[in-house]
Structure 1
């Protein structure tokens, strides 16, 4: 293993392998960082690639006054802010088929589940207020997306990564006083949106396995009463990016009876994990090669306090998304390091 200074010298000389050695240790955690900022796995991947390209192009200007990690986080954070300002993606909130009457209409939110297999559990700094896994949960990421972009960035840098105020200010090109003011507002906004309730059981624990197994068994049988018995009284069912929200036993039961299990439909489930939470993909007829979507469960103690349903992109949306990503890549100058 070459010393970092030697690697940096080689990378500045145009050695792509050396550049890869320099940045590869931070790739996964940077992807998680971009996801927290943007709420989208695909957008996080795009911004990560833009970050690495910008780092490659700006290597000569890196003077080593900060660590390579801090330098990359500065680039990634500002690229995320640019993406949020551009606002290129607008959620499609149109239901494909009529849905039951919701409890209320919320604000449309673009949000995707983050597979646990991609999650890099990093050690936060001493000033962090949230554990890494707590800060990847759906509730936390959803609440983040409701904050103004600069407040969002400030809170992630200070309370998730645990960076000192001075370093966060340098990354965002502002003052320490401005950082402290933005952080105060961001904390208030976040706490107002985070749900209260019992903490979830430990991932993979017997308590979690029992709750998930009971839900899956009831779901595959189409047993709505059995499912409802596993829910908290204030359970919330949401389907990002649609703004429809179903709260409480009655509303959730109607949704599953009328929309999910209507016409005696039954589903096959495949367990997985997303955002540090139990999840599963589901499909009818046992064909999981074309799943209807993903459901992520939020647990509070032994009960399920939230059900978040994500549908796959429709063919038109998927094609437009792919074409947009390819177009953005075509606009990059040649020479970007292979990702």
Structure 2
């Protein structure tokens, strides 16, 4: 940033302001998504952040970088949004069939998938020695879900400290609190997140690798053909199935199989078609359904797979079709056969 650019922006030059903030737009959107769990909300809030920065540019004293200043605005706007009583819980979807009793019922969470195409636009600032989570794992669904279960200020503290790598003193300044409070909030947040993300199954195959492609191909073949045994053969012993924002969660082969049987029996004349995509650095499929005789299939949710070693540990099916627009997915796809599958890119 040059003082000339800053001066021009303060004088009302929109192009100069855009030059100041544009390098950080993509990472700020991801920051808002981490804290809010909703990409749609993150998009809206990002515009609010940039407007607040434009209006408050005269108050920017230059004691920190423009990037840190923008993160201060974004973090506090997110915390305000999370405290807002008008931000209602997402409506719980009503399935068109009677689902079996779930293994557990969770609180509905604000959770949407994040397209990998947006992640590709974020510049790599390199590893930060203060960061605990890097790149891929700080975007995975398990991480984002865990953040939504934390008190907002704990989540913000963890993201600023362990993802972005700000020092404790900087986090305290950004949040308007003390270093002691930051250390206490961070300790509690880490413990809660570690319990939620308990793993131990080995690293998943590398994105786009032959092993990942083979595993997702086998899942797609079994899923589109209604082969429940074939799906179960791919799962870890402690696998789970979730459908945000529905509170139903199914854990273990028996309960997952019960749900799959009920859902697949609901409309036996319909055919399922899949289009491969990627979300939260994980392989995913956009689901489309077509009734017998239809020439086109329409959206039926998006499935994101959580892989562990050579198995599938989690199946997350987002039931809202609103996410299709966020991923740039078509509103319909042509039916090319009884069932169709397009590979994960």
User: TM-score by structure 1 length?
Assistant: 0.89
Aligned residue number for residue 35 of structure 1: 33
Compare 69-78 and 86-95 and name the one that shifted more.
86-95
Q: Is 1:276 matched up with 2:274?
A: no
- Separation in 2, partners of 1:31, 1:40: 10
Give, in whole Å, the separation in 1 of the partners of 2:80 and 2:297: 36
| Deviation of the 1:261 alpha carbon | 4.6
Q: Is the 8 A contact 1:238 1:308 kept in 2?
A: yes
* Partner residue, 2:185: 182
* Distance change in 2, residues 1:121/1:111 (3 Å): farther
Secondary structure at 1:291's aligned position in 2?
strand
1:77 matches 2:75: yes
Give, in angstroms, the shift of residue 195 of structure 1: 3.1
The residue number in structure 1 matching 2:128 is: 125
Is 1:297 the equivalent of 2:305?
A: yes
How far apart, in 2, do the equivalents of 1:290 and 1:29 lie?
A: 32
Q: How does 1:37-186 map to 2 (within 5 A)?
A: 37-87=35-85, 88-97=87-96, 98-119=98-119, 120=122, 122-123=124-125, 124-186=127-189
Q: CA deviation at 1:287?
A: 7.0
Q: CA deviation at 1:114?
A: 0.6
SS in 1 for 2:316: strand
Partner of 2:207: 203
Does the 8 A contact of 2:289 with 2:298 survive in 1? no
Aligned to 2:317: 309
Measured in 1, the distance between the counterparts of 2:243 and 2:295 equals: 22
- Aligned-partner Cα distance in 1 for 2:299–2:153: 37
**Secondary structure at 2:89 match in 1:** coil
Map Cα deviations across residues 181-219 of structure 1 (whole Å, 9 max, x no partner): 111111111111113132212111111111101101111
Q: Offset at 1:290?
A: 2.9
Runs of 4+ in 1 over 6 A off after TM superposition: 286-289
Deviations 1:85-131 (A, max 9, x none): 00413111141423222112122212100111111264342200011
Taking the aligned partners of 2:265 and 2:198, their CA distance within structure 1 comes to 28
Are the aligned partners of 2:289 and 2:297 in contact in 1 as well (CA < 8 Å)? no
Structure 1 residues 288 and 18 mapped into 2: Cα distance closer, same or farther (>3 Å)?
farther
Residue 330 of structure 1 is matched in structure 2 by none
Distance in 2 between residues matched to 1:23 and 1:277, nearest whole Å: 29
Q: How many pairs align?
A: 313
| Structure with greater helix percent | 1
Q: Residue 228 of structure 1 is aligned with which of 217, 228, 232? A: 232
* Alpha-carbon distance change, 287 to 71 in structure 1, aligned in 2, over 3 angstroms: farther
| TM-score using structure 2 length | 0.87
Does structure 2 retain, via aligned residues, the 8 Å contact 1:115–1:273? yes
1:262 is displaced (CA, Å) by 3.7
Residue 328 of structure 1 is matched in structure 2 by: none
CA contact (8 A) 2:288 2:299 kept: yes
- Aligned-residue RMSD, C-alpha: 1.7
CA contact (8 A) 1:282 1:288 kept: no
Q: Deviation string for 1:31-50 (max 9, x for gaps)?
A: 00000000000110111111
2:9 equivalent in structure 1? 11
CA contact (8 A) 1:113 1:275 kept: yes
Verify the 8 A CA contact 1:126 1:162 in the aligned structure 2: yes
1:337 maps to none
Segments of 5+ residues of structure 1 without an aligned counterpart are: 319-339
1:133-185, CA deviations, whole angstroms, 9 ceiling, x for partnerless residues?
A: 11000000000100001100000000000111111111000111111111111
CA displacement, residues 52-79 of structure 1 (integer Å, 9 cap, x when unaligned): 0110000001011100000000000000
